[in-house]
Chain A
Amino acid sequence: MARYVLKRCLQSLATLFIVVSVVFLLMRLLPLEGYFGDGYDKLSPEQRTAALQRMGLLDPWYVQLGNFYVRLSRGDLGTSIIYRRDVPVTEIIAPRIPYSMYFGVFATLLALALGLTLGVFMARRKGQALDKAGTAYIVLINAMPSAVYLLFIQLYGTSLFSLPILFDKYRPNSWILPAISLSLGGIAGYAMWIRRYMVDELNKDYIKLAKAKGLPEKLIMVRHVMRNAFVPMAQYLPAAILSTIAGSIYIESLYSIPGMGGLLVDVIQRQDNPMVQALVLIFSSVGIVGLFLGDVLMAVFDPRIKLVKGEGAR
């Protein structure tokens, strides 16, 4: 197990390296004009060259990339070049982390609690009204572009329930709409998968045997069906975490939540490279940890999965 975890950690680092490098290089493909924003016309060519020189953008790409990793290895993420000039990136991001974290964790927990409950009830009442309503909800969420329903929620949620349209850290009820918006996709996903896996399990022969043993239906559901349906659910966890991240980027900017997601959109538009790189590093780390956790959970739950060749084999 320890060997597997180590191996998997190294793989994760490699993935992280690739993601960060690719994003780094993609940012370098953006036109140089973008670095000046509206001020472009006001500067003379010499001033522009000097500014680009200062930002280190005139070096060949491999030198830039090399410098980035050398500084990263010292724990230095650089300073912002545009968003808040010359302020260390960490200083800008640090106060925003709690917002994104609370927001993301809360939405994920909400999605897990509601989604799994909905899915379990759908599976138990397969074909009945609740199952059909749940299916309609899942189809709706998956078929509609998220921007559409997210805007609807913001628009009607605020007017119908007189909730704040934008986030305000002094008004706790301004959390409600963004948290619900962020969890909607997760609820649909969790409900769909747990229902599907439970229905799969319910049709298996060992359920027949469990019943023939004399186990009451509730115990069969809890001990056998749900327990076994959770194994493939572990697979779904990383994807869910990734989609929560993706969702948070949009929703944070929609509600002006001062988290990292909104910031990322902002700094990409303004081409603040060090900021983008730092944020991408954080987001992809979270995603990769999710993938890693999914694999480990699978192995913990399912004795048939052997993580290391030879381990436990007879």
Chain B
Amino acid sequence: MSLAKAEKILEANDLVIKFGLRGQTLTAIRGASLDVFEGETLAIVGESGSGKSVLTKSFIGMLDRNGWVDSGSIIFEGRDLAAFRDEKQWLAIRGKKISMVFQDPMTSLNPLKTVGAQIAEVYALHRGYGPKEAAAAAVEILGRVGIPDAGKRHKQYPHEFSGGMRQRVVIAIAMACAPRILICDEPTTALDVTIQAQILDLIRSLQAEFGFTTIYITHDLGVVANVADRVAVMYAGKIVECGTAEEVYYDPRHPYTWALLSSLPQLGIKGKPLFSIKGTPPSLFKEIEGDAFAPRNPYALKLDFVREPPRFQVSPTHWAATWLLDPRAPKVEPPEIIGQLRDCGKSEAACADLGGGRAGR
């Protein structure tokens, strides 16, 4: 699909989200800006605690009670979601226009209600269906997400379904009211590998059929490579690099993205220890000066510790926030593996060396 023509469906601008924790204030999102385009599949990647879940939760007003949007805006359908204060306003968005699929299907369903009833609840709520209509619609969507014999199985309880089947039910719930945006928070992490692929395929085929926009949250770069049109890399509450999947995979610019890709086991060289990023992410209780990644970044410039890097546009669809992209910055060679990836992006042959080319698409 051509991203240039696509319309923005959601736009987060300079979003700051804070949490009150034991008298201290934690800044989980430190001015993140993100555009989401109609119909695309966007993946947000980053390590645990980078704020990817918090960011997307703020799109449906599901921050924990001690969290709040401090500044910035989330523009969706001409309204600023960040300005919502009333739970009632959210009810028109949450589950209706934007819905979410959670990580663990084993615990996301109410164990004491039939799966049919849990889906029907959505139809009754958002579309005002009567009990019979809602039940019939539930059976239909269950069939659509690939539950065999849906006419019978809608009367069963979650414990009678396997993990993969339950995730299909959860997806059916999220799909029931034809949302415009589907947020998938690590939808396959709790599933085994064969089922993972099936679930990703299911989401993709539903997307093709209904034309919604998907946002994946994941730390599994393998999943990203399989499904994403665009990738946003998050670190310490900020988006540090964003571009099409090809650009981020084959031509990454931010040292954090380099480090992330280098630690992929698929790209590791047999016999050599696996690369890992030294150090720990910064404490979000304190004000961070300069680039948050600088202390762990072997390529960090002096400037990185003092001043926060702005966005540098690499291509119309690709940008990264690192001083290395400033014209005045010294030329830095990325790690060897990143160089190989770059070659791989240019020619098929170069991919052969790369762990069987599995990082490619």
Contact = CB atoms under 8 A, between A and B. Distances in A.
B222 to A, nearest CB: 25
Contacts of A213: 94-95, 99, 121-122, 125, 173
Interface residues of B, number: 30
B6 interface: no
A202 to B, nearest CB: 11
A301 B111 CA distance: 11
Contact of B112 (A205, A211, A228): A228
A124 interface: no
A44 B95 CA distance: 89
Given A208-B102, A209-B173, A214 B94 contact: yes
B112 A303 contact: yes
Interface in A198-240: 204-206, 208-217, 219, 223-224, 227-228, 231
A224 B126 contact: no
B170 A209 contact: yes
B60 interface: yes
A309 interface: no
Contact of B100 (A212, A224, A301): A212
Q: Which of A223, A231, A314 has the most CB of B within 10 A?
A: A223
Q: Which of B110, B159, B170 has the most CB of A within 10 A?
A: B110
A303 B160 CA distance: 10
A128 to B, nearest CB: 12
A7 interface: no
Q: Which of B96, B108, B126 has the most CB of A within 10 A?
A: B108
A209 B94 contact: no
A158 B91 CA distance: 53
B112 A214 contact: no
Nearest to B158: A206
B156 to A, nearest CB: 9
Contacts of A215: 95, 121, 125
A209 B108 contact: yes
Given A208-B108, A212-B62, 11 more contacts: A209-B170, A209-B173, A211-B62, A214-B91, A215-B125, A223-B121, A224-B110, A303-B111, A304-B111, A304-B157, A304-B159
Q: Which 4 A-B pairs have the closest CB atoms?
A: A214-B95, A205-B107, A213-B95, A212-B100
